[in-house]
A and B are shown apart, each in its own frame.
Chain A
Amino acid sequence: MLLEIKDMQVHYGNVAALKGISIEVGEGDFVTLIGSNGAGKSTTLRAISGLDHPSAGIIVFDGKRIEKMSPDKILKLGIAHAPEGRRIFKDLSVMENLLLGAFVRDDQEEIKKDLEAIFIHFPRLRERKDQSARTMSGGEQQMIAIGRALMSRPKLLLLDEPSLGLAPVIVQEISRILVDINKQGVSIVLVEQNAELALELAQHGYVLETGTIALDGKAKSLMDNDHVRKAYLGI
């Protein structure tokens, strides 16, 4: 297993955001967490990347316990997190944003190659690489966020709501690229409110409800599940 979460709880003050969840992600997997607002999806990602620390339970990544590590150490182990709301550096240029994704790396030649690969995925970023990120559209800002996360050359990519607020055409474009990235060997954990999209892209899914895992299984079987269809797919 690349990532193994066991009985993890996260509290914000006295409020339990996660009440003991277990998740597994294998090498090369594409896993999605779906659920409604406040179910604990973002909290799960924040705990994996070290922004929040679990109050109980363990997280093992690549054979190492990481639940108490700081975000910069976890990134160095190979987990990149494109957080909720994109959180790109708006006053910095597109190029500076992308290169900051490679902040911990020193291999200039390889960084150049990865940058090139990202520009092939997102040609629009190349055209506007010297523009300040503030001037970019929502979709382009999401591309920066994903590109920045990829620049650390992660083994595991955590994505929080990449489709939020974007036009369907852009969502399709980004989806295609995520599948590509996954095929190249990067494991992905995708958090989405758009359950239909998420279950189409992923191989495996977890359904979170009020801080616990209500269901989990192959994405296809979840799509046929009555509860999922009613609660999340609106069918």
Chain B
Amino acid sequence: MELILQSIINGLIQGGFFALFAVGLVLIFGVMGVVNFAHGELVMVGAYTVWLLHAQNGIPFIPVILIAIILVTVIGLLMERFLFRPTCNDPLAGLICSIGILFILQVLATVVGGDGPSKQVPPPYQGTLILFDFLRVPYQRVFSFFVSAAGLGTLWYFLTRTKLGWALRAVALDREASALQGININRISMIAIGVGGALAGLAGALMAPLTNINPHMGHNVIITAFIVTIVGGVGSLSGAVIAAVIYALFHTFITVYFGGVIATICGLLLMVVVLIIKPTGIMGVRVSE
């Protein structure tokens, strides 16, 4: 019983991270039609920023989170302007460009941090929250959970309560019809990749003290993001959040009882099962045309 409750809490915290990067991937795909293969590397850059500035150079954690967000947002904006916009009529070209960026960022990370063993960031928040005498949640995880929830809440507010957020959803649904409303598609693409980048940077920064940091950590991230996106329904932001939480719980439980590798295999199987039984995902809607 204790193990189950503990796993649920760990799963929810994990779900917050998954949601942060999966939502960004969905947003960029929806608005720009580009599958951003480098999304995992954006998360990696966020984590490296924390390692370099906080763990190596002692800059306080909170300002470093902001720097990570800004840095990754800027990388995203540069990708939009110089790669995705010039290739916007050719989705395959955009995809290949994003794979190129993936390798470039991995190499840059190796240049900055060397190719030795994975790096660890000592948790800035020490101590453990103890609930009901038996549930143990390190404060670092409590902090990460509330910050990711706040990030997702802000995104939800932006998308549903502001005119710019409606425009973003409109472009994801129908670019041409959006242009006819006077919406500047290039500007909305910049916002989408900026928001997606900011969320990826935040996810990376929050994960840094809780995970192994190395140039290839983006690999697991992108696999998770794809599983979550497909289970949630490609193009559905709320689906991505729900699927992130479900998948994180699923992944955590299997990790606890059978180990991490089995958990990833089961995750990919889950994706295959969803594709066979309900290809549109749990929240996806069949797109006509």
> Real complex partners, A and B?
yes
**Distance in angstroms between the alpha carbons of A96 and B182 in the assembled complex:** 15
Which B residues are in CB contact (< 8 Å) with A70? 179, 184
CA distance A59 to B183 in the complex (A): 22
Q: Contact at A91–B167, with CB atoms within 8 Å?
A: no
Q: What CA separation (Å) do A96 and B185 show in the bound complex?
A: 18
Q: Is A33 an interface residue (CB 8 A)?
A: no
Select one of B169, B173, B183, B285 contacting A103, CB under 8 A: B183
Indicate the member of B163, B176, B177 with the most A CB atoms within 10 Å.
B177
What's the minimum C-beta distance from A158 to chain B, rounded to whole angstroms?
A: 9
Residue contact B177 to A72, C-beta cutoff 8 Å: no
B126 within 8 A of A: no
Give chain A residues whose Cβ lies under 8 Å from the Cβ of B184.
70, 72
Interface of A is mostly: loop
A87 partner, pick from B163, B166, B167, B174, beta carbons under 8 A: B174
Q: Is A214 an interface residue (CB 8 A)?
A: no
Residues in B with CB closer than 8 Å to A96 are 166
Contacting pair B170 A72 (CB below 8 A): no
Q: Which residues of B contact A90 (CB under 8 A)?
A: 173
9-residue interface stretch from A75-83, A164-172, A199-207, A224-232: A75-83
- Is there contact, CB below 8 Å, between A100 and B170? yes
Tell whether, in the assembled complex, residue A51 and residue B179 are in contact, meaning their CB atoms are under 8 Å apart: yes
Q: Taking the complex as formed, is B131 at the interface, i.e. its CB lies under 8 A from any CB of chain A?
A: no
Query: Are B166 and A92 closer than 8 Å at their CB atoms?
Result: yes
Beyond A99-B163, A103-B163, is A91–B169 a contact (Cβ under 8 Å)? Answer: yes
Measured CA separation A83–B177 after assembly (Å): 8
The residues in B between 181 and 240 inclusive whose CB is less than 8 angstroms from any CB of A are 181-185
A148 to B167, CA, bound (A): 13
B180 located at the interface, meaning its Cβ lies under 8 Å from any Cβ of chain A in the complex: yes
> Contacts A89-B174, A99-B163 known; A83 to B180 CB distance under 8 Å?
yes
A50 to B163, CA, bound (A): 23
Closest B residue to A85 by beta carbon equals B289
Q: How far, in angstroms, from A175 to B166 measured CA to CA in the complex?
A: 30
Q: Which has the most chain B C-beta neighbours within 10 Å: A49, A71, A92?
A: A71
Please determine whether A72 and B174 come into contact, CB atoms closer than 8 angstroms. no
- In the complex, the chain A residue whose C-beta lies closest to that of B173 is A89
Cβ-defined contact, A83 with B167, below 8 A? no
Residues of A close to B185: CB separation below 8 A: 72
Determine the distance from Cα of A148 to Cα of B184 in the docked complex, in whole angstroms: 17
B182 touches A76 (CB 8 A): yes
Q: Which of B170, B179, B180 contacts A92, CB < 8 Å?
A: B170
CA distance A81 to B177 in the complex (A): 9
A147 interface residue (CB < 8 Å to B): no
A99-B163, A100-B166, A103-B163 known; A91-B173 Cβ under 8 A: yes
Return A127 CB to nearest CB of chain B, in Å: 21
Name 21 interchain pairs, CB-CB below 8 A, sorted by A.
A49-B180, A51-B179, A51-B180, A70-B184, A71-B182, A72-B182, A72-B185, A75-B182, A80-B180, A83-B176, A83-B177, A87-B177, A89-B169, A90-B173, A91-B169, A91-B173, A92-B166, A100-B181, A103-B163, A103-B182, A152-B182
Supplied contacts A72-B184, A100-B167, A152-B182, 8 more A-B pairs, CB within 8 Å:
A50-B179, A70-B184, A72-B182, A80-B180, A89-B178, A91-B285, A92-B173, A100-B181
